């Protein structure tokens, strides 16, 4: 399977660098570039890429707004957004995740991690580093305490909450299985149920729900 990628960043040098790094993989194909969010949405509708690497701060339309438009458009339901940021404590990353992004990368990430993130998200999984996610969530709540929304978990059982809590901490299915003393297959089943019950696109959306519901709080 070849993963098609649209690169969105207002700096041509950054776009060129990302294209060069991704071009080294036979299974990743850069199909387009854009310098602002509005054009990115238009190109996404034309190119229908599997993955969009989306800068957060751009002219005309920023990455958070563009991500929201893409996530809400049924024509782009198969498209996944990975946001790019310079800082690992960027509160806007949380807003992009809320808007529908499937993960985020720091712009100084290694070439190997970049390619791995693209492949992972293309498979339908999220891309969230537990350590960096914690800093992002802490930054998002720094401007004022966000009211916990317990109603988000109205349909979730006690055991599913246990699993969601560990997803919110950034644990993989295997790690969740170890912590909760269940099999990896059972952990996967619980995660699948949570995705269906909560209407989440992927694990990244489950992480957002875990924080917004108050089930997980930044330290």
The reply to whether 15 falls in a domain is yes
Q: In angstroms, how far is the first alpha carbon of the chain from the final one?
A: 40
Domain count, the chain: 2
Q: Are residues 184 and 112 in the same domain?
A: no
Per-residue confidence in pLDDT tens, the chain, 219 aa: 899 999 999 999 999 999 999 988 999 999 999 999 999 999 999 999 999 999 999 999 999 999 999 999 999 999 999 999 887 667 788 889 889 999 888 888 899 999 999 999 999 888 887 666 777 777 666 555 555 566 778 889 999 999 999 998 888 899 999 999 999 999 999 999 999 999 888 888 898 888 888 888 766
On the CB side of 123, CA atoms within 13 Å amount to 10
In the structure encoding, which two tokens stand for residue 36, read together? 């602002």
Q: Are residues 35 and 53 in the same domain?
A: yes
Please name the residue ranges forming H helices in the chain. Answer: 12-22, 37-47, 63-72, 91-99, 111-122, 130-142, 158-168, 173-180, 184-198, 203-212
Q: pTM for this one?
A: 0.86
Q: Are residues 124 and 155 in the same domain?
A: no
């Amino acid at each position: 399977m070849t993963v098609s990628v649209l690169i969105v960043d207002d700096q041509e040098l950054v776009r060129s660098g990302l294209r060069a790094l991704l071009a080294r993989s036979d299974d990743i194909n850069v199909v387009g570039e854009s310098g602002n969010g509005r054009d990115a949405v238009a190109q996404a509708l034309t190119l229908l890429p599997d993955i969009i690497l989306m800068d957060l701060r751009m002219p005309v339309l920023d990455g958070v707004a563009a991500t929201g438009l893409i996530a809400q458009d049924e024509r782009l339901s198969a498209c996944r957004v990975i946001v790019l940021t310079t800082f690992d404590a960027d509160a806007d990353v949380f807003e992009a995740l809320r808007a529908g992004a499937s993960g985020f990368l720091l712009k100084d990430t290694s070439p190997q991690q970049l390619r791995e993130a693209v492949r992972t998200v293309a498979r339908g999984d999220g891309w969230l580093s537990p350590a960096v996610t914690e800093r992002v969530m802490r930054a998002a709540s720094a401007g004022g305490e966000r009211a916990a929304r317990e109603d988000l978990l109205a349909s979730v059982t006690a055991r599913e909450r246990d699993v969601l809590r560990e997803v919110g901490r950034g644990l993989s299915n295997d790690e969740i299985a170890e912590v909760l003393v269940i099999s990896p297959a059972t952990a996967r089943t619980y995660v699948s149920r949570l995705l269906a019950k909560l209407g989440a696109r992927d694990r990244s959306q489950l992480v957002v729900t875990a924080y917004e519901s108050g089930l997980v709080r930044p330290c």
